[in-house]
Structure 1
Amino acid sequence: MAGPNKKRADTVKKSSGHSKGQDSRGSSDNMPRSSPKRIGNFDGANDSGSVKKRKPEDYIPKRDLLNISDFLGMQGWYAARGVEIPNSLPSRPAKFNSLGKAVPIKLNTFNVSGWPTTKVHQYDISWDEKSPTKDGKRGLMNKIWNSKAAKEALGEPQSLWIYDGHKLAWANKKIADNEELRITVDLDAEQGRTKTPGAGAKNTHTIFVKWTRSVDFAHLDEFLNGKCSWTASCIDTVNFLDHVLREGPSHEYTQIKKSFFARTAQRQDLGQGVEAFKGVFSSLRPVLNDKSQKALTINVDVANGTFWRPLSLGPLIEMAFTKDLHQFQNMFKIGIQHEGKKGDAFKDKQWKHSNLKRDLSRLRRVQVVDNGYNKKQGPGTWTIEDFPPYDPYTATFPNPDERHITEPKKRSRITVADYFEKKYGIKCTRGVPVVQMTKKISGESVQLPIDVLKISPNQRYNSKLSDVQTSNMIKFAVTLPAQRWQAVQSGVQMLDWANDKYLKHYGIKVNPNPSTVAARQLPLPQLHFDKAQVQPHDLIQGRWRLDGKRFIMPALAGKDTPLTAWGICVIQGRDQPYHAQVENFAKQFVKIFESHGVKFGTKFGKAPAVHYTDVSHGGEMVTEIWNKTGNHFKMNPQLLFFIINDRNIDVYRRLKKSCDCRYGVPSQMIQSRHAKTASPQYISNVCMKVNAKLGGVTSWAKSVTLHTVTPKQQQNLSTMVIAADVSHPAPGAGSEAAASYAAITMSCDEKYTRYWAECNTNGNRVEMVTTENIKRHMGGMAKKWMQKITNGNPPQRVLYIRDGVSEGQYAQVLDYEVEDMKATFKELGCKTVPKFTVVIAGKRHHVRFFPGPGVGDRNGNPKPGTLVETGVTHPFEFDWYLNAHVAIKGTARPIHYQCILNEADWNGEALQQFIFEHSFQYCRSTTPVSLHPAVYYAHLAADRSRAHENKNPESSGKKPEAKPEQKKQSTTKSSSSKPLVEIPPLIDINNKLGLKNTMWYV
């Protein structure tokens, strides 16, 4: 970007009053910036104490960083944390990619055409020390803020205030610099409730509103024009604009972060008490717009949210757990049983670890409304805190009819059932837990029977969906581009910018016409098989066939040995194949695998050893087929098939654990329905996976473009490609103590067709790959790489592609992971550390491409290789959106790539073309894939690693694969005071037969 000169930059810094080093990344004549301190790690991997402290008026405290606007870019997050921007941050290349041909693409972005010209003031919001809002109860905070007393004190509607729901507010009204506005709100009086005698002022709250600064729109304008740096002032301005755009819709619809849902919108019952709504997502961001100008735009997209159905709590629980009342009562009875031991402590402990308690915890923090049993006060709204191990006939509380006794401990206790029957004539259901609420009376939590409660409308469902729910959700969410664009238009109508009173009040204007950009259709590579090449027409259509094509490197060819010892284990049960069907599958597999170039041994015949067993044998099923195959062929098995009856994840992981960790043998699961039909196309797809697991290569994407755009001095540099992904436990019960899994993949040939992968646990919800994992796993693979490819020398450059990190964590990738990788190379004895180029691959965004007429595929999606560099990209940093694949269903989602380090000086065109071309050599697909294959392989390895947990499943027979527990990994306390969690490492893969040297995870 064009940056200010040194004198200008110094002037800006002095006038803005902010700490030095917050200057945007500019051209070579920009002001110098030294290496900054490490960015504090806020995900629990490291202590965040290294972050520079700032005065509260400069910016919100670091614990509130999660509440600022997204899409600030890496520079913005450095500025938000008050940390100096490093010199190494890459700028956008001086020229856009000119490869291929230009194609018109419509984006779901809408440019901001005007922003306030009058002064807007920012305020700090704080609360009475004794108020429950000090604990961050956002629902209560919003209720207080929107109260009549607060609105009158703030001077509404003459001054329309914007509140972020937490610590910041904005208005065009100025309160004196040294004054603090105090507002006292009595919520009982607001809601017309009569105070209980002796209850005091427990529902009275005080808000403190203090002016901190004026919002500086001129500074943002100068930043976008390249005349000044990213500063906290710019961030505050973007933050204000983002919040004011959301304020109007938040009063009309149910808001979940940046999405809005209307009850009248399209919705779908997903089953088990959950339904899905369609809503609208809206987010403001600074961009290089469709006219290549630095500006602000709004990304609008469809939002698909999951919600609890607004049903009575009892029927909903039965529906959610697919149990009737009698079964639910039995589950509760089992959950609170404590054999031979007496006392509530034992009951609580037993209940805490029960399956029912775990399932019920999905309802924690869900809002419910009662049936108005208290006629004087009417229906009350409550928030579920927990489900204690007591039913209404055993749960007790101080008798409210004895309020004249001022000390609650001296009152007699009454059961919930007796109280509701005597007071309101309501007979409670026996044998089901009471519901404990967040509200307390006389120091004790309120407990209500399930019978009087109903789920409030629009309560978000936060837990992982079941397989059935997921299937229904996919059907509901997936829409073709034409329908999705209609939904985007409907979303724009919902947002109704032209009539939004808050936008009018602050003078903000939005162009209702979408951005249209000139994208590039990148050149295709040549896809080679052995003595065959895929036609360009098939490549651009995004699908090719394997018929008659020999793999470019058949399995075991490198070892010059045929596939001899292989076995099939048939797990008996519902829909199992007959013996003749198993024989036919084996015969067809041999025939088709040979047609792809793989050789079979003939000494004992080509047929496999076949064994029949059932799931009651547990992990011993693997021992049985291992022994039978080994005895039949007089050698260690080279490959094991398992024909399974359904997609039971527990059975799958049990088999994989034994194959990987006990015997170190490649394995392949086949569903019985596919074994029965033995479709040639299906078997060819299986052959691709088996070929990779046995050390082979399916195909190779040969570039015909890269040499034309790569400088000569870089064309023959030895290059290592590394990717990493961290997979976290699904939200819901038990996730606070469950492991995260880190996987690292590394290219292991000069054509980047094969990748090694290693994985391990990574603490609990720790996003940065730990130092121990990098040194052990990346270091081990790097040592093998140097021995195999460069005769012991380090690579000259490393392309590190990282998936799954948010924008606020980009700097941590450099500060922790890349630094650890460099240190690992040094520990391996490398005199010269490779030059790193680091690219973040992101798929969790709402940007979509809508091709112009005649440009897209038959479904209206962009064709493979569609590259967008303007309209929605960062104004100055080096990022792009690439659609490398063809969407099978729905609207294609491009991948957002951002280069955050470029020590190796990759040419922009070369880097984009390199990533695109590699999408054609994913080893288990006859289509290009959306992500770079190295990242996909990291996904697969991270998911597969769950099968290697160092614990034994129930009813799995003998478990000799479980090794003595190794040193545990722990997560240090994060800035959110997350408790210490001990996570044991995974069981190691048995590598006696060289399994780690293959693509065992595909």
Structure 2
Amino acid sequence: MPPRAPPETRGGGAGGGGGARGGGRGGPRGGPPPRGGPRGGPPQGGPVGGRVSAPTGPSALPGSHVQAIGVKRPGYGTAGRAVTVYSNFFRTSLPESVIHHYDVIFPDEKALPARLNMELIHHLQTIDAVDVFTPRAVYDGRKNLFAARELPLGPQNSQQFDVCLSDDPNRGSPGENTSGRGPKVYKIRLTKVATINPEVLQRFINGQQSHDNSVLTALTALNVVVRMEPTMKYPFNVRSFFTNRETKDIGSGLVLWRGYFQSVRPAIGQLLINVDISTGTMYKPGPLMDLCLEFFGRPGQHSLLSPRNGMPDRERIRLQRFITGIRIRTTHAGENRAPRVVKKLSSAGAADLSFTLRDGTSKTVAQYFQTILNRPLRFPNNLCVEVGSGALLPLELCTVPEGQIMRKQVPPEKTKDVLDFATKRPADRLASITNGLAVLEYGQSEYVRQFGMHVEDAAGPLTVKARVLQPPKLKYGPGSAQPTITPANGAWNMIDKRFFKPAAIEKWIVVIYERQQRFTQQSAQDMVDGMLRSFKDVGIRVTDERPAVTWQNGQGRIADQLRAAGSDPKSKLRPQLIVVVLPENGNDIYTAVKHFGDVTVGVATQCLKSQKCFRAKPQYYANVCLKINVKLGGINTIPDPQSVTILTDPRHPTIVMGADVIHPAPGSDGRPSFTALVGNVDSDSAKYIAVSRVQASRVEIIEDLRDMARNVLSMYMKYRQFAEKKTGNPAPARLIFYRDGVSEGQFKQVLDSELQALKDACADLKINPKITIIIVAKRHHVRFFPTGSGPQEQDKSGNCLAGTVVDQVVAHPTEFDWYLQSHGGLLGTSRPAHYNVLYDENAFSADGLQSLSFALCHVYARSTRSVSIPAPVYYADIVCSRAKNHYDPQGAVDFSETATQLDSGQADGTLEAYKRGFKPVHANMASVMYFS
């Protein structure tokens, strides 16, 4: 028998299959795949024949009886200049006949990888029970199987099958079947759960049917139908699959593959397929030892993988984290052997690992394989991998099959390579999508044909009516050459403009963490002079023209160094601003600086990268001033009150909030999620404050929202009362809440939980603003492309113009939603933001909310460009990302990349530790935009 790891280090579970390989999120509205309607019974949704006629086209609105999760569409926008754009959607017909829905259960198994499940069902349909599956059914890799005709499963509509993937009784590595056990047999039970009538989908897209479980199940079924063919042929990842037609080797053992995303989506009066390109990160195929050495960037240096030759344990664990879950084949066992899954790396080499044979004698792994191979191992001192069954295999005998997706975070130093590969100019992206139809082969798919669907891919991408909105006018301060400006395609500049409300600096200091030989006295003086000139240009008043400059060692205690640099025995003034010059890779120093300034002492800090300061142009310091001004309590620019009346109507004072949650990276179990709430305090929606919290890992709903909202609302009322000296009631009359990052399957939870939290916060303060909740989504695959090449059609990057809004044709059949591309393109194809109105006591019109959202994309203080989502949401995202700065860098909380695997009990205890260690921002910072 092959060598096995000692029992205390062995994990259970059968090998094979690789990691979980997707499994559908239950159609485009997310959530788990639906379990169908009534078990068995008549078809849902009435008779198959006789389509319900309903008004379609741009003027159609949902029927009065139709229920929506969010707000039903009240109408369509009309503002702006009409244009026509291409979209990455293709029309498809609905199936003509009912679809039969079956539950798939593996009675003896825990959850198996989706790829293995697919193989088992394929084997069942093509070899074990061909007569039952004619024509073949489609399967999502998890629980759902859909058939175009009823399967003959007997009177109970349920049947159990035995499936064995191997026809070879001797499969396995040498001696593995000495126990007499044959190959593994899997039990699969199919049970009919529902009959789906596509009629419900027809009614839904015509706005005559509520979005209920039957609609969700029907959409899931059609998504499984269009994905079945490619998932049988290619590596896949939930809704994308990848081919090796276009690849890029990025080193570290990784290769990028071009992929294709597809999703069946209901639209206004029609059913569409959304097709996009995507990127898959794959393990490089070939010998496993080569992959390991590439990971370290040391190809060919085989002795690096030998603990006996000094391989550090730290490096072994780093490598183990990289290759855990990868499927391998062994060169000595032949190609018929099923791939095995790597569980971990051994801590010693093959010559130093012993195991006991059945006869009681002991052998090393190297000796065992010398007997099997009739030759010694080439690298007996190198590591072994332990696979799922517990067997130990020398690295040199393992190979990595092609097309395995790496489901871990891409190393930070490879992010640029991934972006370069994924980024395509709009015309190129649209061409790639159209070419992808040849890979998708809808017309050739037996599954698409047998379900009676016809995809109009020959007609090309769908053209859509869009509008380009007018940007808001922006106001700058007195002394500006142009006090009011109109952005052109999402951009403007600061030349000859002064901030609307500039800050004042009485004392500031400069601390440099770069070597003085490199960043000299002259470099420092040039930087100070450049900043002083920019301060003057934008209107920031500086009393202290000769700030103290010190050089420090980044290995020391940063907080003590900054405290010492800021204490001046000759002056009672403490610095209002600390400018810190960072070396290359100064992330740890940055975190310590931010903790010191934002949390410990409450002083504004501005970090600069040293290489950016060498001979920096005035534009660079002007951009730095944008950040410094708001950190010191100033306001850079405001939207002109005439151009955004919703925000500036004095009879309806309005608070705009942005909220977000950020989750730990994959594999970082036990780490918490961070939440943020940002809200304006001024009447112009330009000055924002933020609060953030820690909560249980990967929980999307904001747990402390009531307390956070009460905090922000109180600050809003105080600012109006004391800073703006408003008389009368300081409470807001309207509360507009933009929520980022919620999938469509969680809309109901936001309404049930977060809306109530906002109402409770208002009740605590005895105020009663009318609430509007809007979800902003960026993680989707909808793209728009200009149809013409003139400046009225596209910008310099080839993208649609900033302000392009689409709320017809490809929008939701019943809900109040729209797509808005609010920023000018720079690289690649711009992604529009998708807005869904979940709740609206203010009864805003489509034009009102679309122009408001576009205006809020222009008040982002850190740039002179409009951004892709409203500023408060963007700020909330930044505050979440910076939450780790709230922990003491010298404390016990560790944010390094050591992935911890914790059970729920440990995780609860760790969460309490994370909550205890999380410090709120200093009182001085709570009322300014410290996060800018």
* TM bucket, shorter chain: 0.7 to 0.9
The Cα shift of 1:657 comes to: 1.5
Encode CA deviations 1:44-76: one digit per residue, 9 max, x unaligned. xxxxxxxxxxxxxxxxxxx99984433238999
Aligned counterpart for 2:238 among listed residues 254, 257, 267: 257
- Number of the residue aligned with 2:697: 764
Contact 2:25 2:32 (8 Å CA) reproduced: no
Contact 2:166 2:183 (8 Å CA) reproduced: no
Under a length normalisation based on structure 2, what TM-score does the superposition of the two structures give?
Answer: 0.86
Alignment gaps of 5+ in structure 2: 1-19, 40-64, 722-727, 894-901
Helix, strand or coil for the counterpart of 1:489? Answer: helix
Contact 2:85 2:787 (8 Å CA) reproduced: yes
- Number of the residue aligned with 2:28: 71
- In structure 1, what residue type is equivalent to 2:383? P
| Structure 2 residue 801 is matched with structure 1 residue 822 | no
What is the CA–CA distance in structure 1 between the aligned matches of 2:534 and 2:329, rounded to whole Å? 62
Aligned CA RMSD, in angstroms, stands at 3.3
Helix, strand or coil for the counterpart of 1:653? Answer: helix
Encode CA deviations 1:416-469: one digit per residue, 9 max, x unaligned. 22211222124163554321111x2xxxx1121111112221111222223331
Under a length normalisation based on structure 1, what TM-score does the superposition of the two structures give?
Answer: 0.80
Contact 2:27 2:216 (8 Å CA) reproduced: no
What is the CA–CA distance in structure 1 between the aligned matches of 2:429 and 2:96, rounded to whole Å? 36
Contact 1:73 1:874 (8 Å CA) reproduced: no
Encode CA deviations 1:846-892: one digit per residue, 9 max, x unaligned. 11111121311122211111000123211000111000001111111
| Structure 2 residue 151 is matched with structure 1 residue 174 | yes
Aligned counterpart for 2:439 among listed residues 486, 494, 506: 494
What are the equivalent positions in structure 2 for 1:738-757 lying under 5 Å apart? Answer: 738-757=671-690
- Number of the residue aligned with 2:867: 929
Aligned counterpart for 1:525 among listed residues 469, 472, 475: 472
Helix, strand or coil for the counterpart of 1:307? Answer: strand
| Structure 2 residue 572 is matched with structure 1 residue 634 | yes
Alignment gaps of 5+ in structure 1: 1-62, 337-353, 406-410, 556-561, 955-961, 963-970
What are the equivalent positions in structure 2 for 1:155-194 lying under 5 Å apart? Answer: 155=131, 158-171=134-147, 172-175=149-152, 176-189=154-167, 193=171
The Cα shift of 1:186 comes to: 2.5
- Number of the residue aligned with 1:859: 797
- Number of the residue aligned with 2:519: 577
- In structure 2, what residue type is equivalent to 1:72? R
What are the equivalent positions in structure 2 for 1:760-799 lying under 5 Å apart? Answer: 760-771=693-704, 774-789=705-720, 793-799=730-736
- In structure 1, what residue type is equivalent to 2:401? S
| Structure 2 residue 931 is matched with structure 1 residue 1001 | yes
| Structure 2 residue 376 is matched with structure 1 residue 415 | no
What is the CA–CA distance in structure 2 between the aligned matches of 1:551 and 1:875, rounded to whole Å? 44
Helix, strand or coil for the counterpart of 2:626? Answer: helix
After superposition, the Cα gap between the structure-2 partners of 1:612 and 1:941, relative to the gap in structure 1 and judged at 3 Å, is: same
The Cα shift of 1:753 comes to: 0.5
- Number of the residue aligned with 1:808: 745
What are the equivalent positions in structure 2 for 1:414-433 lying under 5 Å apart? Answer: 414-424=363-373, 425-427=375-377, 429-433=379-383
Contact 1:660 1:666 (8 Å CA) reproduced: yes
- In structure 1, what residue type is equivalent to 2:549? V
After superposition, the Cα gap between the structure-2 partners of 1:79 and 1:697, relative to the gap in structure 1 and judged at 3 Å, is: farther
What are the equivalent positions in structure 2 for 1:641-790 lying under 5 Å apart? Answer: 641-707=579-645, 716-732=651-667, 735-771=668-704, 774-789=705-720
| Structure 2 residue 384 is matched with structure 1 residue 434 | yes
Which sits farther off after the overlay, 538-547 or 926-935? 538-547
Helix, strand or coil for the counterpart of 2:758? Answer: helix
Helix, strand or coil for the counterpart of 2:450? Answer: helix
Helix, strand or coil for the counterpart of 2:678? Answer: strand
After superposition, the Cα gap between the structure-2 partners of 1:621 and 1:546, relative to the gap in structure 1 and judged at 3 Å, is: farther
Contact 1:280 1:300 (8 Å CA) reproduced: yes
The Cα shift of 1:651 comes to: 2.0
Aligned counterpart for 2:557 among listed residues 596, 614, 618: 618
- Number of the residue aligned with 1:30: none
What is the CA–CA distance in structure 2 between the aligned matches of 1:936 and 1:79, rounded to whole Å? 38
What is the CA–CA distance in structure 1 between the aligned matches of 2:692 and 2:875, rounded to whole Å? 11
Encode CA deviations 1:583-606: one digit per residue, 9 max, x unaligned. 1110121121111111111xxx51
- Number of the residue aligned with 1:374: 333
- Number of the residue aligned with 1:121: 100
Aligned counterpart for 1:544 among listed residues 463, 487, 492: 492
- Number of the residue aligned with 2:249: 269
* Corresponding pairs, count: 860
- Number of the residue aligned with 1:60: none
The Cα shift of 1:250 comes to: 1.7
Encode CA deviations 1:721-779: one digit per residue, 9 max, x unaligned. 111111122223xx0022222111111111010110122322222222223xx344332
After superposition, the Cα gap between the structure-2 partners of 1:485 and 1:433, relative to the gap in structure 1 and judged at 3 Å, is: same
What is the CA–CA distance in structure 1 between the aligned matches of 2:367 and 2:506, rounded to whole Å? 75
Encode CA deviations 1:60-100: one digit per residue, 9 max, x unaligned. xxx99984433238999999999xx9978544434311111
Contact 1:481 1:860 (8 Å CA) reproduced: yes
- In structure 2, what residue type is equivalent to 1:699? T
Contact 1:763 1:981 (8 Å CA) reproduced: no
The Cα shift of 1:824 comes to: 2.5
- In structure 1, what residue type is equivalent to 2:404? Q
What is the CA–CA distance in structure 2 between the aligned matches of 1:756 and 1:979, rounded to whole Å? 30
| Structure 2 residue 121 is matched with structure 1 residue 145 | yes
Helix, strand or coil for the counterpart of 2:526? Answer: helix
- In structure 1, what residue type is equivalent to 2:608? I
The Cα shift of 1:610 comes to: 0.3
Helix, strand or coil for the counterpart of 1:616? Answer: coil
What is the CA–CA distance in structure 1 between the aligned matches of 2:70 and 2:32, rounded to whole Å? 10
After superposition, the Cα gap between the structure-2 partners of 1:806 and 1:231, relative to the gap in structure 1 and judged at 3 Å, is: closer
What is the CA–CA distance in structure 2 between the aligned matches of 1:839 and 1:77, rounded to whole Å? 26
| Structure with the largest fraction of helix | 1
What is the CA–CA distance in structure 1 between the aligned matches of 2:811 and 2:293, rounded to whole Å? 48
What is the CA–CA distance in structure 2 between the aligned matches of 1:149 and 1:910, rounded to whole Å? 55
The Cα shift of 1:533 comes to: 7.5
After superposition, the Cα gap between the structure-2 partners of 1:474 and 1:223, relative to the gap in structure 1 and judged at 3 Å, is: closer
- Number of the residue aligned with 2:451: 506
| Structure 2 residue 839 is matched with structure 1 residue 901 | yes
Contact 1:689 1:924 (8 Å CA) reproduced: yes
- Number of the residue aligned with 2:285: 310
What is the CA–CA distance in structure 2 between the aligned matches of 1:80 and 1:639, rounded to whole Å? 63
The Cα shift of 1:102 comes to: 0.7
After superposition, the Cα gap between the structure-2 partners of 1:769 and 1:366, relative to the gap in structure 1 and judged at 3 Å, is: same
Helix, strand or coil for the counterpart of 2:383? Answer: coil
Helix, strand or coil for the counterpart of 1:607? Answer: coil
Which sits farther off after the overlay, 978-987 or 889-898? 978-987
| Structure 2 residue 174 is matched with structure 1 residue 241 | no
- Number of the residue aligned with 1:841: 776
What is the CA–CA distance in structure 2 between the aligned matches of 1:117 and 1:125, rounded to whole Å? 25
Encode CA deviations 1:258-300: one digit per residue, 9 max, x unaligned. 112112x211122211121112111101111xxxx2x210001
- In structure 2, what residue type is equivalent to 1:778? A
Contact 2:68 2:210 (8 Å CA) reproduced: no
| Structure 2 residue 416 is matched with structure 1 residue 471 | yes
Encode CA deviations 1:915-964: one digit per residue, 9 max, x unaligned. 1012111101011111100011111111122122255279xxxxxxx9xx
What is the CA–CA distance in structure 2 between the aligned matches of 1:745 and 1:835, rounded to whole Å? 18
After superposition, the Cα gap between the structure-2 partners of 1:626 and 1:766, relative to the gap in structure 1 and judged at 3 Å, is: farther
Aligned counterpart for 2:530 among listed residues 582, 588, 597: 588
- Number of the residue aligned with 2:16: none
Helix, strand or coil for the counterpart of 1:314? Answer: helix
| Structure 2 residue 894 is matched with structure 1 residue 918 | no
The Cα shift of 1:257 comes to: 1.4
Contact 1:80 1:231 (8 Å CA) reproduced: no
- Number of the residue aligned with 1:104: 84
Contact 2:248 2:421 (8 Å CA) reproduced: yes
What is the CA–CA distance in structure 2 between the aligned matches of 1:327 and 1:574, rounded to whole Å? 37
Contact 1:428 1:449 (8 Å CA) reproduced: no
- In structure 2, what residue type is equivalent to 1:415? T
